[in-house]
Amino acid sequence: MEEREPKVTRGIVAMLDALGVRNASIEETRKFISSIPRMREYTELVNTALIGSHPQLRDLWKEENFSIHNFGDTFLLVWKLTNPSDELLGLVTIGRVLSMVIFNGLYGRIRLRGAVSIGDIILDERSVLGPAINDVASWYDKAEFIGAVATPECGQHLSYIELKPVAAGFNDEKTGKRELDASFQKYDVPVKGGSTRNLWVVNWPDIATCRQQDPLGWYFERTRKLAIPFGTEQKYENTEKFIVEMLKRKEVNKAEDGNLSKPSSTV
């Protein structure tokens, strides 16, 4: 039988590591395993909410274009792009999806840390390979907090969206900026080794503000019953600082929007 040459396609990929699972008890491991099927439910839930705004992205969630792969305590989420002209719009939308995944993970006391990238992939029934996979694999375990970073390569696309939202596919600059801010923010991310990297990060605290009146209190409610072994405490402190910073930025944006909507006074 003649073997078909693997087809290269564009894709958006996210690799998420469930922190603490390697040292989990049997009961905690059971809970983690039972959560795996819900990962698709999380993404489909957000998909339903977002497709109304961007119907051209509907194909991203077709069975043949979206897949979740699980190995050990790590998830790989893959979206195959059928229309390259929609890839930047899709990237921002998937940032919102990942926010919901991280938020719902914490709701079930599963702490997710990872990365997202965009680029060429080879996807078939047996494997997922390609430059985008290599890129995300080199970054998914580097951040020292609960959340996900865009790889520097992926960040170039997000910086382009920030600069040219209309060219990226949004109807107008204000809409593009609002949706980008809700999905990704630039942040000095603490990484392994004690340094920081200024990266685009998934703005999952924005989802928390939509779902909770007190996002920081909710975060502590989710984490206060979790074991925090010696040497891991810094991840939680870093996550707290990240949430506080995202909440501050949201308040600033709301104040600025309010000022813009006020009629100017005449002297």
Q: What are 65-121's pLDDT values in tens digits?
A: 888 887 878 889 998 888 877 889 889 988 988 998 888 888 877 889 999 999 999
Question: Judging by DSSP bridges, how do beta strands 111-123 and 147-150 pair with one another?
Answer: parallel
Q: Residue 30: what pLDDT?
A: 57
Which residue intervals of the chain are DSSP H helices?
26-35, 38-50, 87-107, 131-137, 152-163, 173-183, 204-211, 215-223, 233-261
Q: Using an 8 Å Cβ cutoff, are 21 and 146 in contact?
A: no
Q: Residue 266: what pLDDT?
A: 41
Q: Residue 145: what pLDDT?
A: 96
Give the residues of the chain that fall short of pLDDT 50. 1, 261, 264-267
Q: Residue 192: what pLDDT?
A: 93
Q: Residue 131: what pLDDT?
A: 94
Angle 17-205-159 from CA coordinates, rounded to 5°:
80
CATH of segment(s) 8-259: 3.30.70.1230
Say how far residue 150 (Cα) sits from the centre of its chain.
8
Q: Residue 265: what pLDDT?
A: 43
Q: Residue 36: what pLDDT?
A: 59
Q: Residue 186: what pLDDT?
A: 97
Enter the pTM of the model: 0.85
The tokens 């685009």 sit on which residue?
200
